[in-house]
Amino acid sequence: MFGMIGSLQAMEHPGQAALVAEVAKDTGQDPVRLNQLLSGAQRQQSILDAMARPAEAKPWSAYRPIFLTSKRIHEGVVFYREHRALLDSLGRRYGVDPAYVVAILGVETFYGANTGHYKVLDALVTLGLYYPPRAAFFRAQLKTLLELPDHSLAAPPDQLTGSYAGAQGWGQFMPDSIRQYGVDADGDGRIDLQHSLPDIIASVAHYLQGHGWQAGQPVVLPALAQPAAKPLQIKDARPRWSVQQLEAWGYAPTAAVDPAMQATVVHLAGEPASDVWLGFRNFYVITTYNRSPLYAMAVHQLAEAIHAGSDALDRSP
């Protein structure tokens, strides 16, 4: 008996005992079962390596061609038109442009074709218990995963697969996003972000709505920056100034927009300092999905291309 206990303890991950105690206290789950679940997860060096080379570290000139390909645009148009009734219905329910939901699915997983091959439990254990730079965030996600009820997941926790960061399903939801924004749109009693298109689409739309998407409002507009434009301290994509104020500081939109609207100035990595955009609330909302402005711009441009492609087909004889 002592040997079995010693063997079990030897398989524990650093911090596992404290995590199990927290989850058991908060949910009443059996600590033995939780320990078995976590002890079955493996630290993956490939996950730690992947964290060191994110795509968002690329300049925009290299990042854009990854996601704005003719094939991704074509498949987005096909997906949008094939599921238009469902997309438009859920878009109206949540007040979100459905093309942006499709674009997020396109950027994240190529419309469900590549949802990730890592075990979600391995990913979150690796990053939450072995990756100090962001351990607090990923440990919290691991704790949430262990606390989610069975009906909130497409499969048991030890069978889920996803990205190297532990995101799962077509929309690559982290556990906290599943808990807050996951939707059982098909009414089968389960939130299945891997196999149910109604659940997948509704959950992404609910996420955008929950973060403040503004229906019918712009996302981002090109701007002209004057040579003497005021330098701005910009930490994120949150809109902080009125368009009127930004224009007075030397950043003028190239299209008509309400001068009272709140915006920020967006520079993309690797682009000339004179090549700038004004980002609005909806741009910021996309960055809550992935905080990189490159990601938000890729989603925006893919959504625009999907709209344009679909409209062109509507006009064709």
Residues classed as catalytic:
108
Residue tagged 């730690």 (tokens): 48
**Which of 275, 266, 301, 293 is CA-nearest to residue 65?**
301
Pairing state between β 251-253 and 220-225: antiparallel
**Which of 5, 175, 121, 26 is CA-nearest to residue 18?**
26
Provide the token pair at 242.
């009125």
Provide the token pair at 70.
């003719």
What is the per-residue burial (b if ≥16 Cβ within 10 Å, else e) of 152-171? bbbeebeebbbbbbbbbbbb
Which residues pair with residue 242 across a beta bridge? 262
**CB–CB of 161/123 below 8 Å?**
no
CA atoms of 152 and 298, how far apart (whole Å): 29
Residue 298 CB contacts under 8 Å (≥ 6 apart), including other chains: 63, 64, 66, 67, 68, 107
**CB–CB of 254/224 below 8 Å?**
yes
CA atoms of 154 and 161, how far apart (whole Å): 10
CA atoms of 300 and 282, how far apart (whole Å): 10
Look at the chain and count its residues. 317
Ramachandran angles phi, psi of 253, nearest 5°: -65, 150
Which residues pair with residue 310 across a beta bridge? none
